[in-house]
């Protein structure tokens, strides 16, 4: 039975060469081997689906052997497809069909246009679209064997995705069959009622058309105009849509059928002759002037040209008459100004250009045409999936960050990376059409200025700038508060003169930048005190000494002002503060406690500001004393990023390269592929710690490494 079906297919392909027939048979054998004894919903062998699709391709679409071969290979498991046996064009078509088959189509009107674009963009060869349309048409013809849930899903997909594509290609018969079949399952009662009404009125309608045309033909024969008359009945789906849109019964749909009068005119005489036909029709029947559509004098922006008039007969019936020349009719039917355009179906310029190439392909039996490829088209957008199957449209060159901000600004602001097609990626990775992207976030993540280098969308740029401004505003508020408290401690008050001097000295344009720098700990407040108390000179033309230079000059004379701390920590009664764990090389100060002697803190200790502000008289300047003996200090690091295979091993490898560093503990936690590690190490000095941080930041997947308090 299977062999008979294949033979029937090949017998209809008389234009195939012997070599083509042999290749078709070979491809079919791979399909048969792959599908085995699998059955369809109706109990037939699964391979019958592939044969039926091939029959549509060769019969309805007049496609040649390469398309049939690609159809069979698409139904073959990838591991069973032969290497080198078929041409690259054929294998590429099969691979493109595989990509399209993996799309999880969302049945919403909002997504439909994007999904149509995606299918086109995933097809490197125009024939792929035609094969996919044939495949869907065969499914719709077999839909009665599917369970109801699949019937509804396939029908909705067809209405929103495949029927519009068929319409864009000028495949009106296929489009009409798809729509009518889909309606049969989505609105079965309405479908049956319209079919019954059409059947009962068929003879009446035929007689009416004959009577309607008689007087028109008599008058046309009196002129020298050559013409052709066509009549068409509106599709079941189109009738249903009009009934629903206009809230009218079947009898209220005026254009259940329409008459088209096509003149055989030269380019010089076509417009006058069309208007001549118009005058004949409107002389015999009463026109509805409100429904006159003159797209001959003023063609539609799409180029469509035709006269549409609606007339009433003596019996009260309404008929739509379309009048156009042969050239106008050919243009409208060929797709240059196709019917779908003035019905409002959306399209984009490069998509239409590509689809026009498919149209040319249909008119070339040999398929030997210059097929347009996506590489030749201007690629100005990409289509990317969320993990739930929603489709987002972005400009070409968009990154993971662009995608995150496109979904939601909060998601973008907290983005630390993504999983793209199941693989971990950084925030700056560029995306391509068809990618499935899952954004990874951390609560404490905030936008950075360099993020602006990784985004192309205006939304992402605006949101990043907004969040940076918000952060600067917070820092400015904190900086003002810190400065006011310090000035109060120094017995000074905040004045415009002081602010102007500090802003000029630190080379800021506005005062808020000064505040933000203080809030972000970018300005050493001891240098501010020096400026304000006269320890450094200020004023135009004076040579102002910055604090770091002043300290270098005073280091020899003021060494007695410092408490010297050696690595042994034995020369005085002091301890290293546990709140900040200072290590050799850190900038430090001493704080005289009541019971525990002197405690050594880092300048950047979170308690430093409070201690200096409230107990300034108990603060002792301190520095490390250089000695030959080396002592070990403990430091804690926090690593964040996205999970990579073997991450712990990579961290250990980096640490082992830095001699003298030993690991006390390493704790790693994961949440949605985002990792956070807490690393405690023993090392000799800050220089060694800084080098370790640099090396850890170079590990793939690590986004941030910071020193923290344990």
Which are the contacts of 255, defined by CB distance < 8 A and separation ≥ 6? 234, 242, 310, 320
Q: d(Cα 368, Cα 363) in Å, to the nearest integer?
A: 10
User: Smallest Cα–Cα separation from 496: which of 514, 482, 472, 478?
Assistant: 514
- Residue 436 is given by DSSP the state B
pLDDT band of 289, cuts 50, 70, 90: confident
E-state strands within 358-494:
381-385, 391-395, 415-420, 423-425, 437-441
441-464 burial code (b ≥16 CB/10 A, e <16) = bbeebebeeebeebbebeebbebb
Query: Residue 102: is it exposed, middle or buried by C-beta count within 10 angstroms (0-12/13-18/19+)?
Result: exposed
Domain 381-456: CATH superfamily, name plus number: Beta-grasp domain (3.10.20.30)
C-alpha dihedral, 369 to 375 to 380 to 385, nearest 10°: 100
In order of 637, 675, 708, the CA distances from 678 in angstroms are: 6, 10, 9
Given a cut of 70, whether residue 565 has pLDDT beyond it is: no
User: Smallest Cα–Cα separation from 129: which of 396, 372, 393?
Assistant: 372
**pLDDT, tens digit, for every residue of 579-617?**
888 888 888 888 878 777 788 888 888 888 888 877 777
**pLDDT, tens digit, for every residue of 474-516?**
888 888 888 888 888 888 888 888 888 888 888 888 888 888 8
| The CATH number of domain 201-337, selected from 3.30.460.10, 1.10.10.10, 3.40.50.2300, 3.30.990.10 | 3.30.460.10
Residue with tokens 């019936």: 317
Strongest mean pLDDT among 198-207, 213-222, 227-236, 465-474 = 213-222
What are the tokens at 271? 């417009």
Which pLDDT belongs to residue 546? 37
pLDDT band of 160, cuts 50, 70, 90: confident
Tell me the whole-structure pTM to 2 decimals: 0.54
**pLDDT, tens digit, for every residue of 461-473?**
999 999 888 888 8
Q: d(Cα 140, Cα 53) in Å, to the nearest integer?
A: 11
Residue with tokens 């050594």: 600
User: Smallest Cα–Cα separation from 135: which of 9, 47, 50, 27?
Assistant: 50
User: Smallest Cα–Cα separation from 460: which of 401, 415, 510?
Assistant: 401
User: Hey, where are the domains in the chain?
Assistant: 2-187, 201-337, 381-456, 467-554, 562-624, 633-708
| The CATH number of domain 2-187, selected from 1.10.3210.10, 3.30.70.20, 3.40.50.1110, 1.10.3720.10 | 1.10.3210.10
- Residue 544 is given by DSSP the state P
- Residue 114 is given by DSSP the state H
CATH topology assigned to domain 633-708: Alpha-Beta Plaits (3.30.70)
Which pLDDT belongs to residue 200? 86
Residue 5: CB atoms within 10 A of its CB come to: 18
Q: d(Cα 386, Cα 389) in Å, to the nearest integer?
A: 5
Given a cut of 80, whether residue 190 has pLDDT beyond it is: yes
């Amino acid at each position: 039975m299977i062999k008979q079906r294949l033979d029937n297919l090949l017998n209809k392909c008389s234009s195939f060469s012997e070599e083509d027939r042999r290749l078709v048979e070979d491809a079919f054998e791979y399909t048969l081997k792959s599908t085995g004894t699998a059955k369809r919903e109706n109990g037939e062998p699964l391979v019958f689906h592939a044969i039926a699709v091939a029959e549509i391709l060769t019969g309805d679409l007049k496609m040649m052997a390469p398309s049939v071969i690609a159809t069979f290979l698409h139904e073959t498991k990838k591991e069973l497809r032969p290497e080198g046996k078929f041409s690259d064009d054929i294998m590429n078509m099969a691979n493109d069909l595989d990509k399209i088959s993996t799309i999880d189509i969302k049945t919403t009107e909002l997504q439909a246009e994007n999904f149509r674009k995606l299918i086109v963009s995933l097809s490197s060869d125009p024939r792929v679209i035609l094969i996919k349309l044939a495949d869907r048409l065969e499914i719709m013809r077999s839909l009665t064997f599917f369970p109801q849930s699949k019937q509804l899903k396939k029908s909705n997909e067809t209405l929103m995705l495949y029927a519009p594509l068929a319409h864009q290609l000028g495949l009106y018969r296929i489009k009409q069959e798809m729509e009518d079949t889909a309606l049969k399952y989505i609105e079965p009662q309405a479908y049956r009622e319209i079919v019954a009404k059409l059947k009962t009125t068929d003879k009446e309608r035929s007689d009416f058309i004959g009577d309607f045309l008689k007087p028109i033909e008599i008058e046309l024969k009196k002129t020298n105009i050559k013409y052709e008359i066509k009549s068409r009945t509106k599709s079941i789906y189109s009738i249903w849509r009009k009934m629903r849109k206009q809230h009218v019964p079947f009898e209220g749909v005026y254009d259940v059928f329409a008459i088209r009068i096509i003149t055989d005119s030269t380019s010089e005489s076509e417009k006058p002759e069309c208007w001549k036909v118009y005058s004949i029709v409107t002389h015999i029947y009463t026109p509805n002037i409100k429904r006159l559509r003159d797209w001959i004098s003023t063609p539609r922006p799409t180029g469509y040209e035709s006269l549409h008039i609606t007339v009433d007969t003596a019996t009260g019936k309404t008929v739509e008459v379309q009048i156009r020349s042969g050239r106008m009719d050919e243009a409208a039917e060929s797709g240059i100004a196709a019917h779908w355009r003035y019905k409002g179906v959306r399209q984009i310029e490069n998509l239409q250009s590509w689809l026009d190439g498919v149209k040319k392909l249909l008119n070339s039996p040999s398929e030997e045409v210059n097929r347009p490829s996506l590489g030749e088209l201007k690629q100005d957008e990409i289509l990317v999936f969320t993990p739930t199957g929603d489709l987002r449209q972005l400009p070409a060159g968009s990154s993971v960050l662009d995608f995150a901000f496109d979904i939601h600004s909060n998601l973008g602001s907290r983005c630390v990376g993504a999983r793209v097609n199941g693989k971990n990626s950084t925030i700056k990775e560029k995306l391509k059409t068809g990618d499935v992207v899952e954004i990874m976030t951390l609560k404490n993540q905030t936008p950075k200025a360099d993020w602006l280098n990784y985004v192309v969308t205006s939304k992402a740029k605006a949101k990043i700038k907004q969040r940076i401004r918000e952060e600067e505003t917070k820092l400015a508020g904190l900086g003002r508060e810190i400065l006011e408290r310090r000035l109060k401690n120094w017995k000074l008050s905040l004045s415009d003169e002081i602010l102007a001097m500090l802003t000029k000295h630190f080379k800021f344009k506005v005062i808020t930048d000064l505040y933000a720098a203080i809030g972000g700990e970018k300005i050493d407040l001891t240098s501010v005190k020096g400026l304000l108390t006269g320890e450094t000179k200020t004023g135009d033309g004076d040579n102002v000494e910055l604090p770091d230079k002043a300290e270098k000059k005073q280091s020899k004379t003021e060494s007695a002002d410092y408490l010297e701390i050696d690595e042994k920590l034995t020369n005085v009664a002091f301890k290293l503060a546990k709140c900040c764990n200072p290590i050799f090389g850190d900038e430090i100060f001493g704080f005289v406690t009541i019971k525990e002697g002197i405690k050594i803190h880092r300048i950047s200790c979170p308690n430093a500001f409070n201690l200096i502000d409230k107990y300034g008289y108990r603060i002792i300047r301190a520095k490390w004393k250089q000695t030959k003996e080396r002592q070990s200090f403990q430091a804690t690091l926090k690593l964040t990023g996205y999970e990579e295979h073997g991450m712990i091993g990579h961290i250990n490898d980096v640490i082992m390269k830095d001699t003298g560093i030993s690991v006390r503990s390493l704790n790693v936690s994961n949440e949605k592929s985002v990792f956070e590690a807490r690393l405690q190490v023993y090392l000799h000095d800050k220089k060694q710690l800084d080098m370790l941080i640099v090396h850890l930041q170079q590990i793939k997947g690590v986004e941030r490494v910071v020193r923290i308090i344990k």
